[in-house]
Structure 1
């Protein structure tokens, strides 16, 4: 990995870490996602001591173009109960049953493909219901980071305006 890529990842991690409970769309090729996880782990340690215990998980957007495959990916990555894997509505119901003390960052690599073969309403439901917090009692939150490269964001049916760090 080049020094420019390290700087770019550090910049993205510094933008993501304080954004507790929000949705962020970022420009990041899929092959750099695991490197972002490492940089983000460091960034959470630097934000606050109480943020140092953050569960960072990765979902493969390219393997999640339908509701069924997205649910399977999300449930596995987020370590949700088995009942959440039964379908879209069960998954959304299980999101509401999460502990308010959990701190989680869900990164979707190749996010332009996430739910691409479904009604756009499912995309909006996910972006509305998955991020949560921060909660004043318990201190938990879930941040959703949608990551894809520039060209795939442009072609995506789920167009988001990505955050553009230094180029």
Structure 2
């Protein structure tokens, strides 16, 4: 994703999302997700799918090495699974770019 593409991207700081609750809060704020988001991966998938019903989404994660750094490795794998599923099944494109 070059600078021109980043203009429309939602930026999420990995340093602000070192735990699952912090990630959910950061996504809720950055994407104006509904208050009923909840705190499970399934709930996150549901609200992100609803968001992707409205149009494409580009998400730029800065400090990506810090994303979920304070969680067990399995949590990072679950996030990737949710995003991979959405990218392949949602009605509009999802693009996630991880930057160091």
TM-score for both structures, normalised by structure 1: 0.50
> Which residue does 1:161 correspond to in 2?
none
Q: Conserved in 2, the CA contact under 8 Å of 1:95 and 1:129?
A: no
- How far residue 82 of structure 1 moved from its aligned partner, in angstroms, is 1.4
Equivalents in 2 of 1:117, 1:72: separation in Å? 15
- How far residue 147 of structure 1 moved from its aligned partner, in angstroms, is 0.5
Q: 1:121 aligned to 74, 79, 94, which one?
A: 74
Go from structure 1 to structure 2 and tell me whether the alpha carbon gap of 1:62 and 1:41 turns closer, same or farther (over 3 Å shift): closer
User: How is 1:1-167 mapped onto 2 (pairs within 5 angstroms)?
Assistant: 12-13=1-2, 36=3, 39-41=4-6, 55-84=8-37, 86-89=38-41, 90-131=43-84, 132-133=87-88, 140-148=92-100
Equivalents in 2 of 1:143, 1:64: separation in Å? 18
- How far residue 98 of structure 1 moved from its aligned partner, in angstroms, is 3.3
TM-score for both structures, normalised by structure 2: 0.79
Equivalents in 1 of 2:34, 2:19: separation in Å? 20
Count, aligned residues: 97
Runs of 4+ in 1 over 4 A off after TM superposition: none
Bigger helix share: 2
- How far residue 92 of structure 1 moved from its aligned partner, in angstroms, is 3.1
Q: Conserved in 1, the CA contact under 8 Å of 2:60 and 2:97?
A: yes
The runs of 5 or more residues in structure 1 that have no matched partner are 1-11, 14-35, 43-54, 149-167
Q: Conserved in 2, the CA contact under 8 Å of 1:115 and 1:122?
A: yes
